[in-house]
C-alpha cells in the first residue's frame, strides 16, 4: 500500500472530485427546466441498473442482455401498488427490490450450468418473455397492461419547497438520493471480500474454488443483487416517467441500454456505469435532436457513435481516463529524478 504525501494528495483529489460531482448533481434541477431535469433523472435510474449489471457482467463475467425484465418487474411492482392499492412510492421500493432479487436468484440458479453465449441467450429469453407475460396477466385500470401513474403521482412535501417546489425536481431528488445510497453500497461491496470473490470467479472458477470460494453462492448472489438494482431502477423509472410499460421492443432495448452504459463507462470500475449512463442518455437525446427532418435516422447516429466510441475507448470512458492519467503520471515521474518512487 502507498502512504505519505502522494497518497494524501490522491485522497484529497478524490474527496474534492466527489464533492464537486455531488454538487453538480444537486444543482442540475435548479439550473434546468422540467424536460432536462427529467432527462437527468432518467440517467440516474439507468445508472442504478447499470451499476447492478456491472456487478454481474463486469466483476463476475456473467453477461446478461435481459436485465430489462428485472427493470420492468420493479416498474410494475411500484406501478400496481401505487395505482391499485394506493401505496406511497417509497413503500413500494423495498417490494420492487425484493421481488426482483428473488426472481434474479431464481434465474441465477440455472445460470450456474450455463456460460457465456448461452447465458446471454437465456437472459435474452427473459427479456422476450417478460412483455408477453405482462400483456397476458396485467390488466390495469383501462384494461391494458399500461399502468398510468399520473393520477397518483407523489407531490413534493412542504419541507422541501425551498429546493424542490416543482414535481419534476422532487422526483429527481428522490432518484438522486436512492441512486447515491445504492452507489455507496456498491462501492463497499466490490471493494470488500465479496468483490474479490466475484473477480476470482470471473478469472478462474476452478482456482477460485480451491481458495474456498463457494461458486454457486457467489454467482447466484451476484445475479440476485444485480437484479435487485435493476428492480429498484425500474421502480424509480415508474416514478420519473409516471408509468410502467412493457413492449417487447422496449424491454429488449432497455436491456441493451444497460449493457451499453456499462461498457461505454468501463466494465468493472465503480464509476463507469454512472458515467456510461449519463453519456448514453445524453447521446440518445442529442442524436435525436441532431437531424430534424429525419427522426428515423437518430438511432443510426446513436448506433454509429457507439461503434466509434468502442474503436477509440475499448475499455470505456473511465478505463480510458485511467490509462491517460497513468501515462501522464508516468511521464511526470520519469521527468523528475527526486520523485522516482518504485512502482
Partner 1 sequence: MQLFLSQLMNGLGNGVIYASLALAIVLIYRTTGLLNFAQGEMALFSTYVTWKLVDDSEMGLPVAAAIGISMVIAFVGGALIERVVIRPVERSSPLVIVIVTIGMFLAINSIAQAIFGTDTKQLPSVFSDAAWVVGGVRVTAQTVGLVGVLAAECLLLWLLLQKTRVGLGLRAVASNPDSSRLVGIGTGNMLMLGWAISAALGALAGAMIVPMTPGLSAGSMQAVLIYAFAAAALGGFDSPLGAVVGGIIVGVAQALAIQYVDPLNDIELVVPFALIGGVLLFRPTGLFGRRVVERV
Which positions touch partner 1 (CB under 8 A)?
57, 63, 110, 113-118, 120-122, 124-126, 128-129, 132-133, 135-136, 248-249, 252, 256, 259-260, 263-264, 267, 294, 296-300, 302-307, 310-311, 314
The distance of closest approach from Cβ of residue 168 to partner 1 in the complex, given in angstroms and rounded to an integer, is 28
The distance of closest approach from Cβ of residue 118 to partner 1 in the complex, given in angstroms and rounded to an integer, is 6
Three-point CA angle 297, 303, 307, nearest 5°: 145
CB atoms within 10 A of CB 313: 18
The distance of closest approach from Cβ of residue 170 to partner 1 in the complex, given in angstroms and rounded to an integer, is 33
Distance, in Å, from the CA atom of 158 to the CA atom of 161, rounded to the nearest integer, reads 5
Closer residue to partner 1, CB minimum distance, 63 or 277: 63
Distance, in Å, from the CA atom of 109 to the CA atom of 163, rounded to the nearest integer, reads 45
The distance of closest approach from Cβ of residue 144 to partner 1 in the complex, given in angstroms and rounded to an integer, is 14
The distance of closest approach from Cβ of residue 19 to partner 1 in the complex, given in angstroms and rounded to an integer, is 32
Residue 193 Cα distances to 141, 184, 267, angstroms: 47, 16, 19
Closer residue to partner 1, CB minimum distance, 88 or 303: 303
Locus of grid cell 394506493: 86
Closer residue to partner 1, CB minimum distance, 26 or 114: 114
Alpha-carbon dihedral sign for residues 322, 325, 330, 336: negative
Closer residue to partner 1, CB minimum distance, 67 or 171: 67
Closer residue to partner 1, CB minimum distance, 125 or 154: 125
- Three state DSSP letters for 123-147: HHHHHHHHHHHHHHHCCCCCCCCCE
The distance of closest approach from Cβ of residue 169 to partner 1 in the complex, given in angstroms and rounded to an integer, is 32
* Helix/strand/coil for 313: coil
Closer residue to partner 1, CB minimum distance, 40 or 302: 302
Distance, in Å, from the CA atom of 200 to the CA atom of 150, rounded to the nearest integer, reads 46
Amino acid at each position: 500500500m502507498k502512504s505519505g504525501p502522494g497518497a494524501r494528495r490522491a485522497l484529497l483529489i478524490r474527496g474534492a472530485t466527489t464533492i464537486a460531482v455531488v454538487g453538480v448533481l444537486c444543482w442540475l434541477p435548479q439550473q434546468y427546466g422540467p424536460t432536462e431535469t427529467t432527462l437527468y433523472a432518467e440517467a440516474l435510474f439507468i445508472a442504478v441498473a447499470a451499476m447492478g449489471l456491472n456487478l454481474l457482467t463486469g466483476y463476475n463475467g456473467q453477461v446478461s442482455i435481459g436485465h430489462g425484465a428485472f427493470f420492468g418487474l420493479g416498474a410494475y411492482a411500484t406501478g400496481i401498488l401505487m395505482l391499485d392499492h394506493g401505496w406511497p412510492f417509497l413503500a413500494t421500493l423495498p417490494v420492487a427490490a425484493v421481488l426482483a432479487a428473488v426472481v434474479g436468484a431464481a434465474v441465477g440458479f440455472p445460470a450456474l450450468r450455463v456460460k457465456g453465449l448461452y447465458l446471454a441467450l437465456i437472459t435474452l429469453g427473459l427479456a422476450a418473455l417478460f412483455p408477453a407475460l405482462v400483456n397476458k396477466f396485467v390488466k390495469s385500470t383501462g384494461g391494458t397492461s399500461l399502468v398510468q401513474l399520473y393520477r397518483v403521482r407523489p407531490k413534493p412535501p412542504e419541507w422541501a419547497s425551498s429546493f424542490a417546489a416543482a414535481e419534476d425536481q422532487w422526483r429527481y431528488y428522490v432518484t438522486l438520493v436512492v441512486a447515491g445510497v445504492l452507489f455507496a453500497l456498491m462501492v463497499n461491496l466490490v471493494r470488500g471480500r465479496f468483490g474479490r470473490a466475484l473477480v476470482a470467479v470471473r478469472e478462474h472458477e476452478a482456482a477460485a474454488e480451491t481458495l474456498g470460494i463457494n461458486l454457486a453462492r457467489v454467482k447466484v448472489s451476484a445475479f440476485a443483487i444485480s437484479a435487485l438494482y435493476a428492480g429498484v431502477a425500474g421502480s424509480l423509472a415508474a416514478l420519473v416517467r409516471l408509468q410502467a410499460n412493457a413492449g417487447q421492443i422496449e424491454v429488449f432495448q432497455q436491456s441493451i441500454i444497460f449493457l451499453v452504459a456499462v461498457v461505454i463507462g468501463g466494465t468493472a470500475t465503480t464509476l463507469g456505469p454512472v458515467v456510461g449512463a449519463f453519456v448514453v442518455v445524453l447521446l440518445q437525446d442529442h442524436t435525436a435532436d441532431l437531424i430534424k427532418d429525419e427522426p428515423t435516422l437518430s438511432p443510426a447516429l446513436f448506433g454509429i457513435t457507439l461503434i466509434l466510441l468502442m474503436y477509440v475507448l475499448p475499455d470505456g470512458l473511465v478505463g480510458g481516463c485511467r490509462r491517460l492519467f497513468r501515462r501522464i503520471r508516468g511521464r511526470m515521474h520519469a521527468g523528475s529524478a527526486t520523485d522516482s518512487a518504485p512502482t
